[in-house]
Amino acid sequence: MEESFVLKEGVDPSEALIIARKAKTTDGIAPLSEQYLLGLEDPSMGHTHVGIFELSGTNECLVGFAAISGDSAEFVVDPDHRGKGYGTELADEVTRRGIRKIWAHGNLPSAVQLGVDRHMVVTRRLLVMGTSTLDFDVELPEGFELMNLTQAREQLIDADGQWLKANNEAFSWHPEQGGWDAARLARAQRVEWFRPDDVLFLVTDGTIAGFHWLKRHSPTLGEIYVVGLARDFRGRGLGDPLVRAGLRHLYDAGMNRVILYVEENNWPAVNAYKALGFQTEEHHVVYEPQAVDG
C-alpha cells in the first residue's frame, strides 16, 4: 500500500457515521444495516468496532471501519480513500478475529472482487422488494379484528408478551429476528422512528394471531419492517389480509411507496409479495471464506 495505516479497536461514532453517510451517497445504498448503525452509539448492543486509520506524521484519520456483532460483520471505507486496499485490510482483520460472515449490502462490484480475491462465496441472499400499490381493500376473516399496539396494551392481557411469543414462533429459524427476549423487544422500540400506532395486530378472542410492524422512512416511503404469524395460526390464509392491512394503513397515512426485506430462499413469502405487486430492487448478501484446496 502506498500510504501507511494502523488498525485499532474503537472508533468515534460521529466520524464513523459521517463515513457511512458519504458511502451511501456515493454508492446509492447504505453500507451498514440499521442494527449496525445503532450499535455505533449504543454500547449495550455489544458490538465491536475496528477502525482503519491513515497516518500522516503524528496525525491519524479514520478512513474506514468494521462493525462486528456475534459471528457477523459489516464494513465500509470512506469513498475518498478507496482504491488503497483498506477494504481488504478490514476484511482480513475481521476473519483473523474468527468472524466468518461478512455482509455486502448491494453486493457492489468491489465486494464481488473482494470475494474472489479472498476465496469467499455467497452463503445468504436478502432481497429488497418494493411496490407502489398500497390501496388494497382489507377483508378480515370472521372472528378476527385489527388493533394497534396502543389499543392492544389497553385491551389485551400481556400484549407485549403475546407479541414476543408470536415473533419468536414466526422467526424461530431467523438469525436476527428470532430468539428475542423482552429486553430485546423493548430495545427495538427505542428508535427514533418507532410509532406504537404502526404496529398492527390480528386478534381473535383476546389472542394475538399475528403482527405487522411498519416503519416510516419519510412522508411518502414506508416499510414492511416485520410481519409474522403465531404458530397456531399458520396455514389458515391469515398472512395475506395482515399484509394488506399494513399496506392500507401506510396508504391512509399518505405513503405512495413501500419496501421490505425478505430472504431470497423464502419462496412462499417472495411469491406472496410478488402477487401483491412487489418487485426485487436490491440484493444484500453474506460472504463466507472457503477452504482452498492444495
Model pLDDT for residues 115-169, shown as the tens digit of each residue: 999 999 999 999 999 999 999 999 999 999 999 999 999 999 999 999 999 999 9
Q: How many CA atoms lie within 13 A of 161 on its CB side?
A: 4
Query: What percent of the chain has a predicted confidence (pLDDT) above 90?
Result: 93
Please name which of 54, 61, 174, 197 lies closest in space to residue 126, comparing C-alpha atoms. Answer: 174
Compute φ and ψ for 91, nearest 5 degrees: -60, -40
> With a threshold of 0.75, does the pTM exceed it?
yes
Q: HEC states along 215-238?
A: EECCCCEEEEEEEEECHHHCCCCC
Angle, CA 258 vertex, CA 35 and CA 154 arms, to 5°? 70
In the structure grid, which three cell numbers stand for residue 181, read together? 427476549
The pLDDT assigned to 178 comes to 77
Q: How many CA atoms lie within 13 A of 156 on its CB side?
A: 24
Q: Do domains 5-118 and 130-282 have the same CATH topology?
A: yes
B/e letters for 25-56, b = 16+ CB within 10 Å, e = fewer, are eeeeebbbbebbbbbbeeeeeebbbbbbbbee
Q: How many CA atoms lie within 13 A of 176 on its CB side?
A: 16
Contact assessment for residue 208 and residue 162, using Cβ atoms and an 8 Å cutoff = yes
Please say whether the structural domain 130-282 has been given the CATH code 3.40.50.12780.
no
Helix (H) or strand (E) holding 147: strand 145-148
The pLDDT assigned to 1 comes to 42
User: 5-118 — its CATH code?
Assistant: 3.40.630.30
Known binding residues for acetyl-CoA = 227-229, 234-240, 266-271
Please name which of 162, 164, 212, 158 lies closest in space to residue 185, comparing C-alpha atoms. Answer: 164
- When the pLDDT of each residue in the chain is averaged and rounded to a whole number, the result is 95
The pLDDT assigned to 177 comes to 84
Known binding residues = 34, 176, 215, 223, 227-229, 234-240, 261, 266-271
Band of the pLDDT at 77, cuts 50, 70, 90?
Answer: very high
Domain positions in the chain are 5-118, 130-282
Model pLDDT for residues 158-217, shown as the tens digit of each residue: 999 999 999 999 998 877 887 899 999 999 999 999 999 999 999 999 999 999 999 999
